[in-house]
Amino acid sequence: MALVKAFFEVSEITETVAFILTASGVTLTFPSALTVIERVSACDAGAIASERAMAMSGISDLVDLGRYFRMGLVSLNGSEKGNKWENSQVTIISHCTLEALTEAAKVLRDGKLVIFPTETVYGIGADAANASAVRRIYEIKGRPRNHPVIVHLASLQEAEYWIESIPEYALALARNFWPGSMTLILPRSKNAEDFLTGGQESIGLRVPSHPIALKLLEEFHRVGGHGIAAPSANLFGQVSPTTADAAGEQLAASLAPEEMILDGGPCLVGIESTVIDCTFDAPRILRPGAITEQMIEEVTGIKVKEREDLIRVSGALENHYAPKAKVLVSEVGSEGAGFLALAEIETPPGQIRLASPRTVDEYARTLYSALREADNRGLDQIVVVPPSGTGLAIAICDRIEKARSKS
Strands across the sheet with 228-229, in order?
A: 81-82, 91-93, 260-262, 114-116, 123-127, 228-229, 150-152, 202-206, 182-187, 274-277, 284-287
Spans of all domains in the chain? 4-70, 81-300, 326-406
Architecture of domain 81-300: Alpha-Beta Complex (3.90)
| Tens of each residue's pLDDT in the chain, 407 residues | 232 223 223 332 223 333 323 223 333 333 333 333 223 222 222 222 233 333 443 444 433 443 443 333 433 334 455 556 666 788 889 888 999 999 999 999 999 999 999 999 999 999 999 999 999 999 999 988 888 999 999 999 999 999 999 999 999 999 999 999 999 999 999 999 999 999 999 999 999 999 999 999 999 999 999 999 999 999 988 899 999 999 999 999 999 999 999 999 999 999 999 999 999 999 999 999 999 999 999 999 999 988 666 665 654 555 456 788 999 998 888 899 999 999 999 999 999 999 999 999 999 999 999 999 999 999 999 999 999 999 999 999 999 998 886 54
- Strands 17-21 and 4-10, by their bridges, are antiparallel
| pTM exceeding 0.85 | no
Burial class (CB in 10 A: 0-12, 13-18, 19+), 309: exposed
Please tell me the predicted confidence (pLDDT) of residue 312: 56
Please tell me the predicted confidence (pLDDT) of residue 332: 81
Please tell me the predicted confidence (pLDDT) of residue 204: 97
Please tell me the predicted confidence (pLDDT) of residue 1: 28
Dist CA 66 CA 121 (whole Å)? 19
Residue 239 is which amino acid? V
